Amino acid sequence: MILQLCHLHTCVIAMIKAVLFDLDDTLLGNDMDKFLPNYFTLLGKHAERYLEKNRFLQELMAGTQAMIASTDTAVSNRDAFWYTFQQRTGLDPDEMEPFFEQFYRNVFPQLVATTEKRPLAAPLVQTCLDKGLKVVVATNPLFPAIAVEERLDWAGVPVTEFDYDLVTTYENMHTTKPHPAYYHEILQMIDCAPETAVMIGDDWKNDIIPAASIGLHTYWITADGQQPPDETPVNGRGSLADLWQQVQKGWLEQLT
């Protein structure tokens, strides 16, 4: 009967064409409870020539919240941030952006000490590329490219060595996690249907729920035995090592 139906109607099996990887606590061990305080301390000190530290961090968070809240697909996250920052501080983005680029180039690399390289990240990404899949670094695009690329370097999967189809940054994206629109935008940019892509990430709210809500397959990077917090469909869960073993056994090819 199935064969008859396949002759009557075109049978299309959607094979995986793209793999989306979260970055922090997925490809890179990076506990935000440790990372962010150190990041804010260094950045606040760097910005003291313009604003007192606490005031600066307050305005930084206001700009970040503006990016998270924005759903205007005509406005990049970068523009949403700097519009809010300028409105609240009067500081000129044309002067401030190069100043912060100096921070990311010269000071930000110190934060590598708060992170942990995951040895399987590189072979996992390379295997996906070897399979002819599109590979996306789907990190929450709240940072400029220079900061995202630095963290990819810490993870051992730098843009200079891996041919990513897309790395999401505040310059090239117009939405953020956990908006489903973030995943829609990625799929549009890489020309893939939701059912042909899989999102791999550790954050249930940011990575799994919104990706699954629009039809992507999902793999939840999580601690041993941790159970899903709700009924959101998930195609697999476990550590990066667990995922690596599954990929070697053909897990990606089985997602149809």
Sign of CA dihedral 46, 52, 55, 59: negative
> pTM for the full model?
0.93
Average pLDDT of the segment spanning 176-180: 97
For residue 160, pLDDT beyond 90: yes
* Architecture of the 10-30+117-254 domain: 3-Layer(aba) Sandwich (3.40)
For residue 24, pLDDT beyond 50: yes
Q: ω before 228 within 30° of 0 (cis)?
A: no
Q: For 185-219, what is each residue's pLDDT tens digit?
A: 999 999 999 999 999 999 999 999 999 999 999 99
List the beta bridge partners of residue 128.
none
Q: How far apart are CA 68 and CA 181, in angstroms?
A: 12
Q: For 109-136, what is each residue's pLDDT tens digit?
A: 999 999 999 999 999 999 999 999 999 9
Mean pLDDT of the chain: 93
Half-sphere exposure of 155 (CA within 13 A, CB side): 30
Token output for 110: 């110190």
| Predicted pLDDT of residue 225 | 80
Q: How many residues does the chain have?
A: 256
